Structure 1
Amino acid sequence: METLHLTHESINQSLQVKPSAVAVGFFDGVHKGHQAVIQKAKEKADELGIQSAVMTFDPHPSVVLKKGKINAHYITPLEEKEQVLASMGIDYMFVVKFDKSLAQLSPQEFVDSFFVGLGVQHVVAGFDFTFGHKGKGTMEILPELSHGRFTQSVIAKVEKEEDKISSTRIRQVLDEGRVEEAKTLLGRPYSIKGKVIEGDKRGRTIGFHTANMEIDHDYYLPKIGVYAVRVIHQGTSYPAMANLGVKPTFEGDREPNVEVHIFDFDEDLYDQMIVVEFHLMVREEKRFSGVEELKGQLVDDEAQIRHFFSDR
C-alpha cells in the first residue's frame, strides 16, 4: 500500500496517482461499519480494473474546528489505521491534512480537488458523510457536483443489535470497560501499541514482574481497571494481565499508565515495541490497605485470567 499525505495545495497534475475507487471518511477504529464502505470500494476497483483507495483526514476535524481543543484521542491513531488498511489489501491511503484552509473549501472545490484531482472514478462513503464548508456537501448532492466525471455508492448504516456501529458507540463501550463488545464492533480486539520503558520495579518485589508501556497519548484508552490481555511481541502472542491505572495503593500517578504481567515469560523487553490486546475487564482498580492485600488480589486476578484464556 502506498500512503500519500496531501493538502489542497499539493494536488496537481504532477502527482503520479493511478485511477481509483476511493472509500472516504475519517474511519476512526476502522470498525465493521467502516469495513463495509472500504470493501465496497475494493469491489468497485476490481470491477473497473483500477486501484482501491481510502481517503482519511488528519488530525480529527474537531481539533481544528473546536476552539481550545489541542488534540484528539483515537481508537486507531494514524499509524495503526495505516496498518489495518494495508492488511485489508488497499492500494492507496490518501491522508488529507485537515486545516482551516480545507475547512473553508466549498463542496464543489472539495470534489474538484480531492476526487477529480486524484483521478477518482468511483466514490464510496457512508450515508452520513459530509464534506466542504460547514459540512454542506452530502452524498445526496454528490452526483450533481460530479458533473458525470465519476460515479458513487452510498452505504447504509451497519447495525449490531439494532444500534448503529459507530466510533462514538465504541468509545462508549470502552468508557465502560466492555472490551469484549468493542471487539465485536471492531471485528478485532481493541489494542494499543507502545514501547516498554523502565518502571519503578516494584512488581518484581511482590512476585509480579511487569512491563511498563510508554503510551502514545493519541490513543483513546478504556476504563481504568485490570484486564485479561494478550501481548504481541515479534509476532508471538502471550496471555497476560494488565493494569491500566494510576496505582493508588502506592504514590499514584497523575496520568493512567499500562503495565502488563506476561504469564510464563522471562525475557527483557526494555526499549522494545509491544502490542496489548484487551479481551476482558476483570475488575476496577482500587486502593489496597497494603502490599500483602494487593498480592492476594493479584494472585486471584491471575487465576481468573488464566482460566479465561484456557479455552481460547
Structure 2
Amino acid sequence: MVVVELDLDSISHIEAPAPTAMALGYFDGVHKGHKAVIETAKAEAEKRGIQSAVMTFYPHPKEVLGKPDQPIDYLTPLQAKVARLKALGVDVVYVVNFTKAFSKLTPQAFIERFVIGLNVKHVVAGFDFTYGVKGEGKMDDIDRYANGRFTHTTVEQVSDEQEKISSTRIRKQLSEGNVSEAARLLGYPYVFSGTVVHGDARGRLIGYPTANIVAKERFIVPKTGVYVVTLTHGGNTYQGMANIGYKPTFVDDLAKPIVEVNIFDFNKEIYGETVEVAFYERIRSEQKFSGIDEIKAQLGRDRATALQFFKQHTANG
C-alpha cells in the first residue's frame, strides 16, 4: 500500500497517478459503516481493473475549525487509521492536510483538484459525506460537479437495530465504559497504542506488577475502571487486565487517568517499548480501598473474572 500526503500546494505538482476508484471520508475508527464504503470502492476498482484508493483528512475538521483549546482525541489517530486501511487491502491512501485554507475550497474546486486531479474514475462515499466550503457539496450534487468525468456510488446508512453506526456513537460508548458495545460497532476490539513507562512499582509490591502505558498519539481513553484486555508486544499477544484511573487509594490529585496493565504470566522488562492494548469488557468501576489486603483480594477476583472471560470466549471460538 502506498501512502501519499497531500496539501493545497503539493496537489498542484503531483505527477498524474494511475486511475483509481476512491473512497472519500474521514474514517475515524474505520468502523463497520466505513468498511461498507471502502469495500464498495475496492469492488468498483476490481470491476474496472484499476487500483483502489482511500482519501482521508488530518487533522479532524472540527479541530481546525473549532475551539483551539479543545484538542480532539481519536478512535484511530493517523498511524492507527493507516494501519487499519492497509489491513483492508487498499492500494493507495491519500492523506490530505486539512487546513483553514483547504476548508475554503468551493465544492467544484475540491472536485477539480482532489478528484479529477488525482485521476479518479469512480468515487464512493457515505450518504452524509460533504465537501467544499461549509460542507456545501453533497453526494446528491456530485454528478453536476463531475460533468461526466467520473461516476459515483453513494453508500446508504449502515445501521444496527438501534441507529446509525457512527464514530460519535462509538466515542460515547467508550466514554461510558461500554467497550464490548464499542467493539460490536467497530467490528473489532477497541485498541489503544502506547509506550511502556516507569510507574511507582506499587503493583509489583502486592503481587500484581503493571505496565504503565502512555499513548503515543491522541487516542480516546475509555472511562475509568478495570477491564479485560489483551496486550500485544513484539508480535505476541498476552491476556491481562487493565486499570484506567487516578489511583484513589494512593494519590489524591492526578490530572489525567493512568492506563496500567497487569499482564498474566509475563515477566519481561518492556520499558520504553511500544505495545497495543485491546479492550474486551469492563469488570468494574475504580474503587478506593482501605488497605493493601483489600486491594489484593479484589485484584484476585478481577483476575478470576478476566480468566473466565477468556476461557468462555476461547471455547466459543
Please indicate the TM-score interval, normalised by the length of the shorter structure: over 0.9
TM-score by length of 1: 0.97
Unmatched 5+ stretches in structure 2: none
Q: Is residue 2:20 matched to residue 1:9?
A: no
User: SS of the counterpart of 1:111?
Assistant: helix
Q: Distance in 2 between matches of 1:10 and 1:166?
A: 31
Runs of 4+ in 1 over 6 A off after TM superposition: none
Do the aligned partners of 1:62 and 1:69 also contact (CA within 8 Å) in 2?
A: no
Q: Is residue 2:300 matched to residue 1:299?
A: yes
Name the counterpart of 1:106: 106
Do the aligned partners of 1:25 and 1:125 also contact (CA within 8 Å) in 2?
A: yes
Name the counterpart of 1:46: 46
Q: Distance in 1 between matches of 2:284 and 2:209?
A: 20
CA displacement 1:147-186 (0-9 Å, x = unmatched): 1111000000001113110001101111111111111111
User: SS of the counterpart of 1:33?
Assistant: helix
Q: Distance in 1 between matches of 2:300 and 2:93?
A: 46
Deviation at 1:16, TM superposition (A): 4.7
Q: Distance in 1 between matches of 2:34 and 2:180?
A: 19
Do the aligned partners of 1:204 and 1:210 also contact (CA within 8 Å) in 2?
A: yes
Name the counterpart of 1:277: 278
Q: Distance in 2 between matches of 1:65 and 1:193?
A: 27
Residues matched between the structures, number: 312
Do the aligned partners of 1:63 and 1:69 also contact (CA within 8 Å) in 2?
A: no
Superposition CA RMSD, Å: 1.1
User: SS of the counterpart of 2:172?
Assistant: helix
CA displacement 1:73-96 (0-9 Å, x = unmatched): 100010000000001110111001
Name the counterpart of 1:289: 290
Do the aligned partners of 2:197 and 2:272 also contact (CA within 8 Å) in 1?
A: yes
Q: Is residue 2:97 matched to residue 1:97?
A: yes
Deviation at 1:217, TM superposition (A): 5.1
TM-score by length of 2: 0.96
Identity of aligned residues (%): 48
Q: Distance in 2 between matches of 1:105 and 1:5?
A: 18
Name the counterpart of 2:211: 211
Do the aligned partners of 2:4 and 2:92 also contact (CA within 8 Å) in 1?
A: yes
Deviation at 1:71, TM superposition (A): 2.1
Name the counterpart of 1:197: 197
Q: Distance in 2 between matches of 1:208 and 1:162?
A: 40
The verdict on how the C-alpha distance between 1:14 and 1:181 changes in structure 2, with shifts beyond 3 A counting, is closer
Name the counterpart of 2:129: 129
User: SS of the counterpart of 2:143?
Assistant: helix
Unmatched 5+ stretches in structure 1: none
One-letter amino acid of the structure 1 residue matched with residue 216 of structure 2: D
